[in-house]
């Protein structure tokens, strides 16, 4: 607001000085040209503060857009890292649930289940896979620290 007040004060002083010049002109034939020149100068004085206001707002909007893009990029990276963690957790939960279901179906002490496939070897494969996954996670966590 202070910039606008300064612009209005400058414009008022300029208009007073311009009227004095027009009033004390040496020849009446120059009056219309002087009024045209003064009008253009007044319009220029009005235009520049308004233009600066829009440029400042445009710059502020541009800064806000850049900040928003940075926040979106950070959120995307965080979401991607969370997806990896969730997938690993889901894999572990699925393998544990599969192991639990197979143990429920497996008769005690036998390697083959009621449906005819070797559940014991499948459980061993699942345990090996889960162990490898946990080792990989341990290695990546050690590398992060």
The predicted-structure confidence for 52-76, as pLDDT tens digits, reads as follows: 777 777 677 777 788 888 888 888 8
Tokens 């219309």, located at residue: 32
Question: Which of the two residues, 74 and 106, has the higher pLDDT score?
Answer: 74
- Residue 112 — φ and ψ, nearest 5°? -100, 145
Q: Look at residue 49 and tell me whether its pLDDT is greater than 60.
A: yes
Residues contacting residue 102 through CB under 8 Å, at least 6 positions apart = 113, 119, 122, 123
CA distances from 65 to 16, 38, 52, 68, 71 (A): 44, 41, 20, 5, 10
How crowded is the C-beta side of 28, counted as CA atoms within 13 Å? 0
Structure tokens that stand for 31 in this block: 């009056």
What whole-number distance in Å separates Cα of residue 48 and Cα of residue 20? 24
Q: Is the pLDDT of residue 39 over 80?
A: yes
pTM (predicted TM-score): 0.37
Both tokens assigned to 65: 């857009």
Residue 34 in contact with residue 21, Cβ under 8 Å? yes
Which of 62-76, 108-122, 128-142 is the most confident on average?
62-76
3-state secondary structure at position 118? strand
Give me Rg for the CA atoms of the chain.
Answer: 40
Most confident among 2-16, 21-35, 43-57, 118-132 (mean pLDDT): 2-16
Instruction: Give the dihedral of Cα atoms 54, 56, 59, 60; nearest 10 deg.
Output: -110
């Amino acid at each position: 607001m202070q910039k606008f007040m300064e612009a209005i004060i400058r414009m008022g002083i300029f208009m007073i000085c311009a009227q004095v010049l027009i009033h004390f002109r040496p020849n009446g034939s120059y009056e219309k040209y002087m009024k045209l020149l003064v009008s253009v100068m007044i319009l220029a004085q009005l235009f520049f503060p308004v233009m600066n206001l829009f440029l400042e707002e445009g710059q502020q909007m541009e800064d806000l857009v850049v900040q928003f893009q940075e926040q979106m990029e950070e959120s995307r990276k965080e979401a991607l890292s969370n997806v990896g963690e969730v997938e690993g957790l889901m894999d572990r939960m699925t393998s544990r649930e599969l192991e639990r279901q197979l143990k429920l179906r497996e008769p005690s002490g036998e390697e083959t289940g009621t449906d005819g496939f070797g559940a014991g070897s499948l459980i061993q494969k699942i345990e090996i896979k889960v162990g490898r996954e946990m080792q990989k996670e341990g290695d990546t966590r050690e590398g992060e620290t």
